[in-house]
């Protein structure tokens, strides 16, 4: 499935005139395969051995291109570093208060929220975002072991 997403994303970029460089290909592939919602720095560190001449600015510039093309969502959660999520479908995030881990989940019942909000308020809803915060299983276990 990852190869299909990568091929589709590359085709989408090519159709808008974006040149596919080896670095751009690698950054996109990393985002598609990654389940950690990486920061630009995470991506840079993961790829720097393959591309020693690549800078963090190159990563940021490519992430901007991907975001503008609708392939990547930039996630900001109040800390200093944005995280990036390859967009395959609508989903939500649960975030660990202790370690910052972000996990995707989908709940179809929440799709009705936009319709209800529009109906009740008269707004034309463009999008919505929901975040749930808690403590991940690893941090729960560590807290238990400390006590």
**Known binding site for Fe cation: residues?**
128
Q: Strand 92-96 and strand 131-134: pairing?
A: parallel
d(Cα 100, Cα 31) in Å, to the nearest integer? 18
Structure tokens at 57: 């600015």
Closest CA to 77 of 118, 119, 133, 26: 133
Specify the length of the chain in residues.
147
How many Cα atoms within 13 Å fall on the side-chain side of residue 97?
Answer: 6
Summarize the annotated binding site as residue ranges: 96, 99, 128, 136, 139
Summarize the annotated binding site for Zn(2+) as residue ranges: 96, 99, 136, 139
């Amino acid at each position: 499935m990852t190869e299909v997403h990568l091929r589709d994303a590359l085709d989408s970029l090519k159709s808008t005139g974006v040149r596919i460089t080896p670095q751009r290909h690698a950054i996109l592939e990393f985002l598609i395969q990654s389940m950690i919602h990486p920061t630009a720095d995470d991506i840079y560190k993961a790829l720097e051995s393959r591309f020693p001449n690549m800078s963090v600015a190159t990563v940021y510039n490519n992430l901007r291109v991907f975001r503008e093309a609708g392939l990547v969502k930039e996630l900001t959660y109040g800390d200093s570093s944005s995280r990036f999520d390859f967009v395959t479908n609508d989903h939500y995030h649960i975030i660990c208060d202790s370690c910052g881990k972000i996990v995707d989940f989908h709940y179809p019942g929440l799709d009705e929220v936009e319709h209800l909000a529009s109906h009740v308020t008269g707004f034309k809803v463009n999008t919505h975002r929901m975040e749930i915060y808690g403590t991940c299983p690893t941090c729960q276990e560590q807290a238990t072991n400390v006590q």
